[in-house]
Amino acid sequence: MLAGWAPEILPGLRWGRRQLLELAFDVDFALAVSSFNLDDLRACGYRRVEIVPILLDLDSFEREDDVATAQRLQRDRERGGADLLFVGRVMPNKCQHNLIKAFVAYRRGYDPRARLRIVGGFASGGYVAALQSFANEAGVGDAVELAGQVTPAELSAYYRHADVFVSASEHEGFCVPLLEAMHHDVPIVAVAAAAVPETVGDAGVLLPSRSPSEFAAAIHAVCSGDAFRRRLVTAGRTRLQDFELHRTRRRLLDVLAAHGVSGSP
């Protein structure tokens, strides 16, 4: 997929993959943040691999909202319609084109005033242009915002004004934005690909396919069902506890001790 949209990235990816393969012969043990990454490392020849969830201070998600961004998003909300949010790099493997397809189905079938906000840096100018053109041709160009890279304060405002976090990505080694969504009480609807199910647990709606109609129906279920939404938010808060720094740090120290390494990360 990248070859068609971002061929300039491929040499670096191939170089990194070669390095990963070469290092396998010199590494005593490796750490992976998910079983998805663990399987990849083992396929590359790493003999001993341990899973240690990403070390992350969840308090860092709590920021003051950018005032101008919050005011703009609030004005949009007052006009009605749900706000769908994706956070992450804009790249073909993140499948934002499938998000737009699902968004079109959602607007046509359930909520004609809904908005889709895609927040994250652009890794391929050609892909971004294609996304905007696709949205325009589908008649939703004015409702799809490709925000690009934003400040932490702006990002906080996007989360606080979102009704549902959506992801159709086909490759995620962990996906920190899923935790950010949980922190901000934003329910998740995502395709069950790569490490997404492992990160989400039972704190979101995981879809077996990228069917636009199924995606749209799941978004509608979250946005229209108060009780269902509350269950997802509560499950997200509970799931987030598994990634509290004192727990992930303890897991890392236990793994290091088991391999004869001592230290205080």
pLDDT tens, position by position, 160-217:
999 999 999 999 999 999 999 999 999 999 999 999 999 999 999 999 999 999 999 9
Strands, E, within 42-122: which ranges?
49-51, 83-87, 115-119
Confidence grade of residue 3 (pLDDT, cut at 50, 70, 90)? low
Domain-embedded: residue 154:
yes
Asked whether residue 10 is domain-assigned, the answer is: yes
Amino acid at 168: A
Prediction pTM value: 0.94
Percent of the chain with pLDDT over 70: 97
Average predicted confidence (pLDDT) for the chain: 94
Phi, psi of 207 (to 5 degrees): -100, 140
> For the chain, how many structural domains are there in total?
2
151 and 50 part of one domain: no
**Span 114-167, pLDDT tens digits:** 999 999 999 778 899 999 999 999 999 999 999 999 999 999 999 999 999 999
The verdict on 160 and 127 lying in the same domain is: yes
If asked whether residues 152 and 118 sit together in one domain, one would say yes
Tokens of 247: 């727990």
Residue 170 forms part of a structural domain = yes
Contact present, 140 and 100 (Cβ < 8 Å): yes
Residue 5: what pLDDT?
Answer: 72
Residues 141 and 90 in one domain: yes
